[in-house]
Homo-oligomer: A and B are copies of this chain.
Amino acid sequence: MKILILGAGGMIGRKLTAALLRKGELTGRPIQAMTLADVVETDVPASSVALRAVAADLSAPGVAAELVAERPDIVFHLAAIVSGEAEADFEKGYRINLDGTRELFEAVRREHAASGYQPRLVFTSSVAVFGQPLPPVVPETQVLAPLSSYGTQKAIGELLLADYSRRGFMDGIGIRLPTIVIRPGKPNKAASGFFSGILREPLAGLPATLPVGDEVRHWFASPRRAVEFVLKAAEVDTSGLGVRRTLDMPGLSATVGEAIEALRRAGGEEAVALIQREPDDAVKRIIESWPEAFDPQRALALGFEADASFDEIIRRHLEDEVAGNGKRA
């Protein structure tokens, strides 16, 4: 069992690498080799598995072909420029999020043509593929009408994944991850970053800014759940998916106010007092274009499971990131 992780240096990529090394197998077959690719060199953990780090830009000529030439059994395609950055830098967003994805899929197709190669390919998409107006609970047949370049690029990736899978070039599965909370580490450029910030920073005794109101409702998953989703996507039976190869992942539908109440229970009034309200219309417009809740029937039927509450999300953060001093990251 050989595994390729693209975007291995990101938050999910690092946690996925650690989880795979702990697990030791995938689809019942022992993991023999893993290639960890990212635009910057990824730390290689000590392990009995043959680990190789590759620093390369997936959209550059030849990079995808070289990575696919190893014929990994499973490809995790997590690499992406986040929403805020893709909106700020149009060309970079399209180059990484669209051209990079297409180069990867084309490399797989060429290897398929040469040798019959057909890997399982797990693609992380996003609820940002949806626009407005949206019903309060989004059905699985909802039109993709993104209000951001990031959402557009992810929607195009989903369409390509479906067509390349329908053609038999790969066994692709896309998963639309909820917004991940609590992201460990420093704030990133995602427009959704504050959802983590208003919990992570106060839990560490630091101030955090909140650009939207308490009434804003959104769709969440913990990092631990997100890694479970990605792992499960690598193993799940895709034969019943048909042409819609991308699934809405189960999430927790909750408001900013509910997150703050959970923070109050976990960290007390002094934690809540560290949240500074600084309304930001640009962030508000992006967030309000995102869905509030889904009806992820297909994923639930396949056994994907959501977090139960913001209290659980905070508890997992404290277990995984604070108590263990980041060892599980």
Known A-B contacts A152-B162, A152-B163, A155-B159; A147 and B243 likewise in contact (beta carbons under 8 Å): yes
Q: Are B244 and A145 in contact (CB under 8 A)?
A: yes
CB neighbours of A40 from chain B (8 A): none
Q: Is A325 an interface residue (CB 8 A)?
A: no
> A147: nearest residue on chain B (CB-CB)?
B243
> A144: nearest residue on chain B (CB-CB)?
B144
Q: Is A141 an interface residue (CB 8 A)?
A: yes
Known A-B contacts A90-B167, A167-B90; A243 and B146 likewise in contact (beta carbons under 8 Å): yes
Which size class do A's interface residues fall under?
20 to 34
Q: Are A147 and B166 in contact (CB under 8 A)?
A: yes
How near does chain B come to A168, taking the closest CB pair, in angstroms? 11
How near does chain B come to A139, taking the closest CB pair, in angstroms? 9
Q: Are A143 and B145 in contact (CB under 8 A)?
A: no
How near does chain B come to A304, taking the closest CB pair, in angstroms? 19
How near does chain B come to A40, taking the closest CB pair, in angstroms? 28
Q: Is A131 an interface residue (CB 8 A)?
A: yes
- A162's partner among B142, B145, B159, B163 (CB-CB below 8 A) is B145
| Interface 0/1 of A242-275, CB less than 8 Å to B | 1110000000000000000000000000000000
- A143's partner among B132, B141, B147 (CB-CB below 8 A) is B141
> A149: nearest residue on chain B (CB-CB)?
B163
Count this chain's copies in the assembly. Answer: 2
Known A-B contacts A144-B144, A144-B159; A149 and B131 likewise in contact (beta carbons under 8 Å): no
List residues 112-162 of chain A with CB under 8 A from any CB of chain B: 131-132, 140-147, 149, 152, 155-156, 159-160, 162
Q: Are A141 and B144 in contact (CB under 8 A)?
A: no
Q: Are A142 and B143 in contact (CB under 8 A)?
A: yes
Q: Are A143 and B144 in contact (CB under 8 A)?
A: yes
A97-B328 Cα distance, complex, nearest whole Å: 46
CB neighbours of A144 from chain B (8 A): 143-144, 159
CB neighbours of A156 from chain B (8 A): 156, 159-160
- A142's partner among B109, B132, B141, B155 (CB-CB below 8 A) is B141
A278-B155 Cα distance, complex, nearest whole Å: 39
A159-B242 Cα distance, complex, nearest whole Å: 22
Q: Are B146 and A143 in contact (CB under 8 A)?
A: no
Q: Report 23 cross-chain contacts, Cβ distance below 8 Å, ordered by A residue.
A: A90-B167, A131-B243, A140-B143, A141-B143, A142-B143, A143-B143, A143-B144, A143-B244, A144-B159, A145-B243, A146-B159, A146-B162, A146-B163, A147-B166, A147-B243, A149-B163, A149-B167, A152-B159, A152-B160, A152-B162, A152-B163, A156-B156, A156-B159
A-B pairs with the 9 shortest C-beta distances? A152-B163, A141-B143, A145-B244, A131-B243, A156-B156, A152-B159, A155-B159, A147-B243, A145-B243
| Chain A positions near chain B (C-beta within 8 angstroms) | 90, 109, 131-132, 140-147, 149, 152, 155-156, 159-160, 162-163, 166-167, 242-244
